């Protein structure tokens, strides 16, 4: 084909660098400035009143919105194919803002039990204290979500590519189940990143990120985001009064009616973020914007390295099993082809022969891998979930979450694959002391 296809919008790589940002209007600064400020001068009293009443867009105070953070919000929304986004201090804060916007005390939701350990604790224990009940289900059978729904359920939540690793959830039928029930599907897309998977294309209504991971990409900055697809009709039933009934804090403004396809984002920002306060710092937004510029090239290398390491482990005599959806042997291979055509990410688990003790020995014997709790770094990371991230769960919950006693989780970084393989090889050959 010659010439440019005029109907084609800019590609993902182009948007990863340009979406949401433009040269600074005052200085010409090509890179997005770090607006390290708490507050913004009003033109006059009327301007201030319009801002406070949400009758005009602009900046008041950085707990609610900040120009650097706003660039990141627009970029993430663009890459996910969403309508709008709001950032938060961490991924957990993004989850909290989401449910605080959707749920009333006494409300319920259904979540996959294949989740980041911290999310299991947040949903199962801390949310419970706020009067929100989470029903956990095994996502392997989509119908489990339907079976767990009650009239009080206001959302379904899952991780498409699930933590600790190697599990792919068939999200399309779950989106249908949610929509039949008149509730949104929320997908945590942290592990895949929008480069590998865009849940909105499969029916998700809200997408959550811990930007701490692949989006910032270098292990430097905590952050979270929630992206709104703009397609969910909050007024189709009476389940979401916070969006469809007049808000007393804004002179009776109704968010869904006033802001339409970005009503959720406006409510999450101007009520939940304003009142609970977990705002993202502008410096972290800057580092995350910079990280996203290289997301496509980083994800390609993450996937290539992870595939090489997973293949090596699969052939190792001290390894009992490897769970990486990029391997031909994975039961999730077909789902990975559907949802993760560019690769199954770089976080996966494997089992060591010798159980808990052997798992501890491996994480204590590596040299190049860093033993810590994070993922999506340029560096390769290792953790034994049963003794760390998932230790608050009992053994049944650990196994249900894919983090049994023999399980080791890797987040494969961008080093030379051969060096990673050599390091694991020597760690796996350590004898009991």
Residue in 16, 65, 169, 222 binding ligand PLP, rule: CB under 6 A: 222
Residue in 108, 159, 377, 406 binding ligand PLP, rule: CB under 6 A: 159
Residue in 98, 144, 193, 210 binding ligand PLP, rule: CB under 6 A: 210
Which H helix or E strand runs over 304? helix 295-314
**Nearest 5°: CA angle at 228, between 118 and 213?**
40
| Residues in 45-74 at the binding interface with ligand PLP, rule: CB under 6 A | none
Tell me: does residue 285 bind ligand PLP (CB under 6 A): no
Tell me: does residue 170 bind ligand PLP (CB under 6 A): no
Cβ-count burial 336-369 (b if 16+ within 10 Å, e if not): beebbeebbbbbbbbbbeeebebbbbbbebbebb
Tell me: does residue 91 bind ligand PLP (CB under 6 A): yes
Rounded least distance, CB 313 to ligand PLP, Å:
21
Tell me: does residue 119 bind ligand PLP (CB under 6 A): yes
Q: Which stretch, 43-51, 116-124, 226-234, 293-301, contacts ligand PLP (CB under 6 A)? A: 116-124
Tell me: does residue 377 bind ligand PLP (CB under 6 A): no
Tell me: does residue 197 bind ligand PLP (CB under 6 A): no
Tell me: does residue 224 bind ligand PLP (CB under 6 A): yes
Assigned token pair, 12: 């993902």
Rounded least distance, CB 91 to ligand PLP, Å:
2
Helix axes 417-428, 355-365, angle to 10 degrees: 130
- Report d(CA 130, CA 107) in Å as an integer: 10
Other beta carbons within 10 Å of 391: 13
Give the residue carrying structure tokens 């270098």.
218
Residue in 83, 114, 135, 213 binding ligand PLP, rule: CB under 6 A: 213
Rounded least distance, CB 226 to ligand PLP, Å:
12
Omega of the bond prior to 164 within 30 degrees of 0, cis? Answer: yes
Residue nearest to ligand PLP (CB): 91
- Report d(CA 111, CA 296) in Å as an integer: 29
Tell me: does residue 190 bind ligand PLP (CB under 6 A): yes
Answer whether 247's CB lies under 8 Å from 262's CB. Answer: no
Rounded least distance, CB 376 to ligand PLP, Å:
8
Our measurement of the distance from residue 256's CA atom to the centroid of its chain's CA atoms, rounded to an integer in Å, reads: 24
Which residues would be at the binding site for ligand PLP (CB under 6 A)?
90-92, 116, 118-119, 159, 163, 188, 190-191, 210, 212-213, 222, 224, 375
């Amino acid at each position: 084909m010659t010439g440019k296809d005029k109907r084609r919008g800019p590609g993902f790589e182009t948007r990863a660098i340009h979406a949401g940002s433009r040269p600074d209007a005052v200085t010409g600064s090509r890179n997005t400035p770090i607006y390290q400020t708490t507050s913004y001068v009003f033109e006059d009293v009327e301007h201030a009143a319009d801002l406070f009443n949400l009758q005009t867009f602009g900046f008041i105070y950085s707990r609610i919105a900040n120009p650097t953070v706003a660039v990141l919000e627009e970029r993430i929304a663009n890459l996910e194919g969403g309508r709008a986004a709001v950032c938060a201090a961490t991924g957990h804060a993004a989850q909290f803002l989401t449910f605080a916007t959707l749920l009333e005390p006494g409300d319920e939701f259904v979540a996959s039990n294949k989740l980041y350990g911290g999310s299991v604790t947040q949903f199962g224990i801390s949310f419970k204290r706020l009067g929100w009940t989470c029903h956990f289900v095994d996502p392997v059978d989509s119908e489990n979500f339907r079976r767990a729904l009650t009239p009080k359920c206001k959302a379904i939540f899952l991780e498409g590519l699930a933590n600790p690793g190697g599990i792919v959830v068939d999200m399309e039928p779950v989106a249908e189940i949610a929509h039949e029930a008149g509730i949104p599907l929320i997908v945590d897309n942290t592990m895949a990143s929008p480069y590998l998977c865009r849940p909105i294309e499969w029916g998700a209504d809200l997408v959550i990120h811990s930007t701490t991971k692949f989006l910032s990409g270098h292990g430097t900055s905590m952050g979270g985001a929630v992206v709104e697809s703009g397609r969910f009709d909050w007024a189709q039933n009476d389940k979401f009064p916070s969006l469809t009934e007049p808000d007393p804090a804004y002179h009776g403004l109704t968010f869904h009616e006033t802001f339409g396809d970005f009503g959720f984002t406006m409510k999450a920002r101007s009520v939940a973020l304003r009142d609970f306060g977990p705002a993202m710092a502008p410096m972290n937004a800057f580092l995350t914007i910079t990280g996203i510029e290289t997301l496509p090239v980083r994800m390609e290398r993450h996937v290539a390295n992870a595939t090489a390491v997973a293949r090596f482990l699969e052939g190792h005599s001290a390894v009992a099993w490897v769970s990486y959806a990029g391997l031909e042997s994975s039961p999730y291979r077909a789902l990975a082809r559907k949802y993760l055509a560019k690769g199954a990410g770089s976080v996966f688990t494997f089992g060591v022969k010798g159980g808990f003790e052997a798992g501890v020995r491996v994480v204590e014997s590596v040299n190049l891998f860093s033993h810590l709790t994070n993922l999506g770094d340029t560096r390769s990371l290792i953790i034994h979930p049963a003794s760390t991230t998932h230790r608050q769960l009992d053994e049944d919950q650990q196994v249900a979450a894919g983090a049994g006693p023999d399980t080791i989780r890797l987040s494969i970084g961008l080093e030379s694959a051969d060096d990673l393989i050599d390091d694991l090889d020597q760690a796996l050959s350590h004898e009991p002391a």
